[in-house]
Amino acid sequence: MQMVPKHIKRSFLLTCLFVVYTTIGYAQLEPQYTQYMYNIGSFNPAYVGSVEKADISALYRAQWIDIDGAPRTLRFGTNIPLGNGKNGIGFNVVSDQLGPTSQTFFDVAYSFQVNVSSDTYLSFGIDAGGGILDIDFTKGNFENTEPLLNTTTVYNKFYATVGAGMFLYA
């Protein structure tokens, strides 16, 4: 009988844990951005500090302007490289409104850059923050509601967020 190598056993165990973990995960609604290139800091904490000078950005997106409950997204973010050229910090606040739901996300990010070659860098980043979800079912007229949802209630919940990312740039 042939023995199974340790690294294969470990890989199998990690795969099983990943499958179990993802099957009990919860769905989330992320804000929709029209211009991804202006919102990288919202998605990837490794992006902070990858610019030569500090920048501050504010973006607003509105769709279907004359319709009540139309999607609206507002983002405010900072991207600050630190003096040593190897670290960066950033801050993001995103407000997203769609129908009876309103979400506000906020996070603080830190990144560390490593030289891969003379002009190429690999950045590693982490962020921590939270989100506030508000659902007000009194806004709007809902025809096909879930039987478990009381359409006269207001739902408010805070949840913590943690993220990590990598970013290769030249």
CA 13 from chain centre, in angstroms, equals 28
Q: Is 47 helix (H, G, I), strand (E, B) or coil?
A: helix
pLDDT in tens, 57-104: 898 888 888 888 888 989 999 999 998 878 999 999 999 988 888 999
pLDDT in tens, 134-161: 888 777 666 665 555 555 567 788 989 9
Q: Which residues of 28-53 are buried (b: 16+ CB within 10 A; e: fewer)?
A: eeebebeeeeebbbbebbbbbbbeee
Q: Is 94 helix (H, G, I), strand (E, B) or coil?
A: strand
Distance separating alpha carbons of residues 88 and 144, to the nearest angstrom: 48
The domains of the chain are located at 34-169
Angle at 28 between CA 112 and CA 101, to 5 degrees: 115
